Each structure stands twice: as C-alpha cells, then as structure tokens.
Structure 1
Amino acid sequence: MTYCLGILLPQGLVLASDSRSNAGVDQVVRVSKLNLMPTARDRVISIQSSGNLATTQAVVTRLHEAVGSGDPACDLGLARTMFEAAGIVGGQLRSKTEADAKFVEPYGDAAGSFLVGGQIAGEPPRLFQIYAAGNFVEASSRSPFLQIGETKYGKPILDRSLTPQCPLDEAAKLTLLSFDATIRSNLSVGLPIDLLVYRADSFAGNLVTIEEDDPYWNALRLAYSEGLAALVAGLPPPPSAWGV
C-alpha cells in the first residue's frame, strides 16, 4: 500500500507521496513514488503512483524514455495541455495493464493508479487522478485535493481544514499532518516522504525528501499531538445525565 496526495490551489500545487512498498511483512522496501518528468521551460509534470509496483514503474519509465521521441502516444513533451498529458499517462497505464494482466492474475493484481499534476504554459496548474482503467478526473476549487492508496486516515484533517483559499505553506503543513495521521494508523505507509511544493508559473519544481530525523517533521508532529491533547482536555465534559 502507499499514500499519495495532491492539492490544487490558486497559488500552485502541493504534492506528496510516501516511500514504503511491501509484498508481505518481511518484504518491505523504500521506493520513490513521486516522479518529476524531465524539466522544460514551458512545463512541469509530476506523476505519483500507487498499486502494482511493476506496472507503475514500467509506465513511468516508459514515459521518461519517450520524452523527445516525437511519439504522440507517450511523449509528454508534445502535450499541449495537462488534460492531454493525463490522457497520455492513462493510455500508457491501460496498455501496460492489458499486456500484463493475464500473466499477473494467478499471483495478484496488475492494476495501478496515478496522480498527474503540473502546469503547461498557457494554462494554470492542474491536477488529475488516473484510475486503473486509464480514465481520469480533475481536481477543482470545489474538490481541491485528490488521494490514491491508503486514503482514509489522512482525509479527515483535509476535510476539516483545507480550503480553496489556503496558502501553499499552510497546505504543505496540512499535507504533512495528513501523512502523520496515516503513518500512525497504517503500517503499510512509511517514511521518507517526497514533497513537492510548486508555485504557479514558476516552471520549476523543488522536490524535498523528509526523513525520520527531519527537525521540522518531528516538531510539527509533536506540537500537533500535544495541541490535540490539550484541546480535548479543555472541551466540556459530557452531561451528568449521561451517567458519565
């Protein structure tokens, strides 16, 4: 399992993925699941992956190798919009799944899914979720975040606190708290966290890897935990009529 989160805001994007991949309790490895496509002056495209590792790695590798090839089916450098880029990723996922599914089926599921985020010159930043079938949906101001993988533990804090007007630094903070909640409750999600904060129209992505000894990560987790405990302690008790 994994956890990938993408947030779309007027100021830009916040994208994050964990790095734990496991095929059983004794086969746990660390794998990057947030991939930046080769940089260009007019575009930044990030792909986050969840699901069958062989499938998703094959798709991402194919897309990397195809940049500059001139093949409209797989060259993200030819995409005129992020919608077209999402279609290319979905098409490659569909092709790979169809090619491998009958061979993988006796042993497991060949399916994968992606978050595709970024910006191509001429349009604002955009964010898409690519389903296992290769079709996709887009984030919007009414639904500013998308998740794949182990989503349920990290969703409540986003539902409560994330707004379309949220600044990027606040969104980055909420992103890390969403990952903290997930890591605390699910052993299949773990550090390091790859975090990308992309400011609109910058066409530059700074990918940061957060390890267990990161001072900000640890200070944030501690302050949040202590703050929650203090908040609960300060809430009024249940009515005496409840028999508590």
Structure 2
Amino acid sequence: MLANFTVGMGAQATTNEAVAYTVTTSIIGGSLIVFILLILKNVAYGLGSDLEKGIIQTYFSYPLKRWRILTAKLISALGVSLLLFLGIQISALYILAPDIVLPQFGTVILTYAANLSYPLLIAAIMLLMTLILRRGGIGLVVGIVLYFAMSIISGIAFIVSFATESPLALQIISVISPSMALQQHYGGMPDILGSVWSPTLSEVLVYIGVSYVIVASLFVLGYVYFSRRLNL
C-alpha cells in the first residue's frame, strides 16, 4: 500500500526518507486546516474577546506578572491544540506505517516542523494584531486570508521560478514557509523544477531555523507589547 504514496515523486522517492516524508504529508493534509482554524479562533477570537470584555483588565488588577498572564493564555489557546494535533497525528502515523515511521522518525519530526512554521507565523501575527487593536475579529480575518493567500503565492512562485529558471522566488517563500524547501528536497516537482532548485538537507534545516527565528521574534514582540505597552 505504501507504494501508492511514492507515485510521481521521481527517483528520490525510492529512499526510506522520501517515503516517510510522503506518508507524513499525506496524513497532515486535511488535518492541518482544522488545526489552523482552531488556533485562529483561540488566539484571535478568544484573546480578543477577553480584551473586549475586560477580563484581561481584571487580571491586571491582581498581583500577577503580565508575561505570566499571556503565557497562560497562549498555552490554553495554542499549546494544548498543538500537543493534541501532534499526538493524534503521530499516533495515526504509527498505526498506518510503523515500519516506515519509527526508523525515519527524524524525517517525520522535520516534516511537521516545516509544515507548522507558517501556521505559527500566522498565530504570532494575529496575536500582535489582536493586542494592538484590542479585538480579535480583524485578526481572525487577516489570519484566514494569510493562510489561503500562501497557496496562491506559492503557485505564482512556482510559475516565476519555472519561467525564469531561477529558484529565487521559491527561496523567498521558503523563508516563511519552509515546507516548500522540504518538498523540493524530496523531489516535489522533479520534472518541472528539479533542475531549477533541489535544496540539500542542510539548506532545508537553515530555512526551517530562519522561519522559527521569525516566529519567535514576533511572539517576543507580542510579549513586549503586552507587558509594557498594553494599557486597558
């Protein structure tokens, strides 16, 4: 059955790593959008609602450090959802293909890291917008637009790279969405872009690292604003 996952991936798909990558991405598929919608709701609408109703202001009246309040909110809004998502996903992978997943567990984790980077970036942007605007509705809309816009932007990047025979457009996208680089590493479109860009694993790791530095920086900005600039 696993042979079906390797159809159309070219010569690189014959490796165990490529098979593990393909199986993992097939499981992530539709579940990722559910996870994204959940964190959009929790971060933007949940926190925004607390700001509008004065719940956060009530917390500020207690002898609590502001960063602890925000951490508690993010754990309930983002951390729990992330742990549930990963737990269910990895359990499903183990049931589906233990002989592939266990020996290539590093590839599985790398695939999740690459695919979750952009959703976490959206969450960080929504957090900042919600704190600055003190309401979650606009942040929620922006988050949804950003998520679906990436599909369009990625398609344009593929066309530009193919037309110009330059990987620059794909490399720029990979800075904020490293799943693009990982896809090309495992021969995502070998017949079209294989000769244009086939990043090494080291390059993929750099893109993933840079993307999470950006995500972490935005969350730090959110903490700074919440702790020092947010006045209710």
TM-score by length of 2: 0.29
Question: Whose helix fraction is larger, Structure 1's or Structure 2's?
Answer: 2
Question: Whose strand fraction is larger, Structure 1's or Structure 2's?
Answer: 1
TM-score by length of 1: 0.28
